[in-house]
Structure 1
Amino acid sequence: MAQAAQINPDILAWARETAGLSLEEAAGKLGLTSTAKATAAEKLAQVERGERPVTLAQLEKAAAAYRRPLVIFYLSSPPTRAERGEDYRTVTGSRPRDDAMLDALIRDVRTRQQLLREVLLDDEDIQPLSFVASCQMTDGAQYVANKIRDTLGVNPTEQRRARDASALFTLLRKAAERVGIYVLLLGDLGSHHSDIGEDVFRGVALADEIAPFVVINDNDATTARSFSLLHELAHIWIGASGVSGPVKGFSRNAVERFCNEVAGAFLLPAEAINLLSEAQGADFELALSLTDDVARRWNVSQGVVAYRLLLNGWIDEAIAARLFEAFAARWRIQKARERQLRGPDDSGPSYYVVRRARLGERLLDTVRRALQGDVLTHTKAARILGVSATSVEKLLKERPRAA
């Protein structure tokens, strides 16, 4: 008979909930099966209440499924919630499951950042990035936007010449990675079953002078990603780590509002604002038409344009609210249509193509060089990349392509 592990069952419940898994999902991952007396989920519930013992083998499976080190299950009580940094979101009524999955995602990214940071610090030539926390909110949004532009080396003409919103995001992402920022596209915990919607979070910034990380939710619309990226870069420039939510108007949080203004100032410079001058006092229909026109010209979302109109005082908050709701409704319809059109055999790009695009060139190149220099093991490389150790070599074999 398998030996029972002596643990506080509250730890198991806490680990499952903070991993964002239901009883049914977790029971399957732990290898529990249903019988005539109890379902697999009921058995797990009994374990979490201390009514049924848990074996060491099941505990090891729980450590893997819940993304926790095995030793944490032997604590006397559950630890406090993983630090997100500052929570700048204005999400109301979010489900506990959504917050649990978000915490699990941020905890995972922080661990990967720390492992990468240790690798970089082993390089004698590594220098702290001077732009991290180099600005303050008192400098003003336009000043910070200009500083970001100077560092990235992307001018308004290049923004306009981008083929579309996806090409603009690629341009900005490559520029950010070129100066030392790791930009990841993550919106789940490893599979589509753990998707975290854009209504839960838009982006995360982890400011660090050695390995700054920016995470963009890839469940969001492609047209919104450039704004999310610039918003999170503003967080990096003022040294404010945290998680950000969707733009639905003026944020009540001063930092979030400031970073929105920085992103808007970068993506819609003075020459773009001139096109919006006729929007002053516009009604909903005219504002909708103008935002569409400018968004197409500058390869951004209509939400970015609407926010800039609101910021300039050219539309009131009531019209802005209607615009943001219209954009959100259209995105929900588009996502639903895409799911319907995606047939059972439509698997899309291969796993490795998608994974490379999500991780970004800089992270892949850094890990590749560290492995070649024998300063990183395949086990740690797998942890940094978020894949199995057997997938590392194939993942690094080719340079990333857009998925």
Structure 2
Amino acid sequence: MVTKAKINSAMMKWAREYAGFTHGHEERLPKDIKSKYEAWEKGENSPTWNQLREVSKKYHIPTAFFFMDCPPNFDNLPNMINYRKLVADSIYETNSPNLINNIRKSETRREIYLDLLNELNEDILLFKVPKLEHDTKIFSNYIREILDISLSTQKSWYKEVNHYNFLNKWKEVLNEKLGVLIFETEGVLLEEMRALCIFHEKIPIILLNGKDSVNGRIFSLFHELTHLLLGESAICGDDENTQEEIFCNAVAGEFLVPEHDLNISINGVTDLLSYNSLKKLYNSYGVSEHVILRRLLDANKISRKDYISHINSYEESFSKSSGSGGNYLNNMIKYNGKAYYSVILDAYEVGIINSLEFSKFTDLGKKQIPKLQESFYGGE
């Protein structure tokens, strides 16, 4: 006889809603769960222990939660507070279970990161929200100042055409200078979310979409940083028509490709729209062709007709990153971030955490530790 788990049926419903399987997202549940969850939630039947373990994995909830007398208070869940603030009351209506889970994972990783920094007696930076005039160049200059990265340094980062070195350098700088923790999503559609930020006075989060192009992620870093400097959390998709989104885009563009420097770079260039001219510009600044074209339009160096024509051509040939495949360790570093893994590795090496905790915090086995050490400390 198969033993059933005597769960609290109300907790089964709470767990499904907590995981975001509502408002049509129930169709994404595995067949064995989708055909039975309603009976479990009504108390008409109970899952077997194997079924409960599968539900626990899918909902990302420990099995013990299903036996609680009542659902926990959201206000007592540290990783939910800022999430609810971020998406307001539309939490289950507008976001997929994958996005919800990625946001919760980023908050959990931040808590681990913060705890281990304290254990390691490391200084924790406070993220300052400046009182600045709502002006694109003022914000851009402020970012350049606090990051202390000159344009000549930025341009020296060019190594390869896909601009990975630019992305990695900017991630490193934002963490070192401002304490921003940067993660990338796994399995979230680009159409749903390009990037988001969650404001904290200590260790704010920027979450990039791992499916986006390298150049797209670079631009999103500074779009989201602008939101943080405004003291706000935000989810950013394809809606760029609000005043706030327009401003954040403008700041990111001006920071990455300052108008005064662009004017110097194009001085004497006879054909700005030639392949070689555009290539030289976007490789110099570490941005996409799209960003360069937009900056040239904003500086009145090309016509809107030429801009639209080239953008249409650019988008037809544009290829997004798959966000998957390749080396498992490299993928994990991409999703979780080098800054996060560095602190976990430091804590392991000095004995603050053991190998089991290392694996739990990193999704990496103990055998991966030497490889991680080699990746971080083995030289360029």
Alignment TM-score, normalising by the size of structure 2 = 0.75
Q: Find the residue that maps to 1:215 and give its secondary structure.
A: strand
Report the CA distance between 1:252 and its aligned residue.
0.7
Equivalent residue, structure 1, for 2:14: 11
CA 1:105/1:348 → structure 2, altered by over 3 Å: closer, same or farther? closer
Equivalent residue, structure 2, for 1:342: none
Equivalent residue, structure 1, for 2:176: 178
Structure 1 range deviating more: 225-234 or 67-76: 67-76
Q: Find the residue that maps to 1:251 and give its secondary structure.
A: coil
Report the CA distance between 1:236 and its aligned residue.
3.3
Equivalent residue, structure 2, for 1:252: 242
Q: Give distance in 2, aligned partners of 1:66 and 1:317.
A: 48
Paired letter, 1:260: N
Report the CA distance between 1:352 and its aligned residue.
1.4
Report the CA distance between 1:70 and its aligned residue.
3.9
Q: Give distance in 2, aligned partners of 1:348 and 1:201.
A: 21
Determine if the alignment matches structure 1 residue 353 to structure 2 residue 330.
yes
8 A contact 2:125–2:179 mirrored in 1:
no
User: What 5-or-longer segments of structure 1 have no aligned partner?
Assistant: 33-39, 89-94, 189-194, 340-346
Q: Give distance in 2, aligned partners of 1:102 and 1:253.
A: 25
Structure 1 range deviating more: 1-10 or 107-116: 1-10
> Once the two structures are superposed, what CA deviation does each residue of 1:130-179 show, in whole Å capped at 9, x if it has no partner?
xx233245253323322322333322123333124222222222222333
Determine if the alignment matches structure 1 residue 204 to structure 2 residue 196.
yes
Equivalent residue, structure 1, for 2:281: 294
8 A contact 1:382–1:392 mirrored in 2:
no
Q: Find the residue that maps to 2:35 and give its secondary structure.
A: helix
Q: Give the alignment partner of residue 342 of structure 2, picking from 344, 355, 365.
A: 365
Report the CA distance between 1:349 and its aligned residue.
3.5
Report the CA distance between 1:268 and its aligned residue.
0.5
Report the CA distance between 1:57 and its aligned residue.
4.5
Q: Give distance in 1, aligned partners of 2:22 and 2:303.
A: 41
Structure 1 range deviating more: 57-66 or 363-372: 57-66
Determine if the alignment matches structure 1 residue 262 to structure 2 residue 251.
yes
8 A contact 1:16–1:26 mirrored in 2:
no
8 A contact 1:146–1:266 mirrored in 2:
yes
Q: Find the residue that maps to 2:9 and give its secondary structure.
A: coil
Equivalent residue, structure 1, for 2:229: 237
Once the two structures are aligned, what percentage of the paired residues are identical?
19
Q: Find the residue that maps to 1:167 and give its secondary structure.
A: helix
Q: Give distance in 2, aligned partners of 1:317 and 1:252.
A: 21
Equivalent residues, number: 359
Q: Give distance in 2, aligned partners of 1:315 and 1:208.
A: 40
Report the CA distance between 1:315 and its aligned residue.
6.7
Q: Find the residue that maps to 1:134 and give its secondary structure.
A: coil
Q: Give distance in 2, aligned partners of 1:69 and 1:304.
A: 44
Q: Give distance in 1, aligned partners of 2:22 and 2:371.
A: 26
8 A contact 2:146–2:177 mirrored in 1:
yes
Equivalent residue, structure 2, for 1:35: none
Equivalent residue, structure 1, for 2:215: 223
Q: Any residues of structure 2 matched to 1:1-400 within 5 Å, and which? A: 1-3=2-4, 4-8=6-10, 9-18=12-21, 26-27=29-30, 32=32, 41-44=34-37, 46-48=39-41, 50-70=43-63, 72-73=65-66, 74=68, 76=70, 83=83, 85-86=85-86, 99-129=96-126, 132-136=127-131, 138=133, 140-161=135-156, 162-163=158-159, 164=161, 165-179=163-177, 181-188=179-186, 195-246=187-238, 251-254=241-244, 256-269=245-258, 270-274=260-264, 294-309=281-296, 311-312=298-299, 326-331=313-318, 334-335=319-320, 349-376=326-353, 378=355, 380-385=357-362, 387=363, 393=369, 396-400=372-376
Paired letter, 1:399: S
User: What 5-or-longer segments of structure 2 have no aligned partner?
Assistant: 75-79
Paired letter, 1:258: F
Report the CA distance between 1:391 and its aligned residue.
6.5
Alignment TM-score, normalising by the size of structure 1 = 0.71
Equivalent residue, structure 1, for 2:77: none
8 A contact 1:12–1:48 mirrored in 2:
no
Q: Give distance in 2, aligned partners of 1:330 and 1:96.
A: 34
Q: Give distance in 1, aligned partners of 2:22 and 2:374.
A: 32
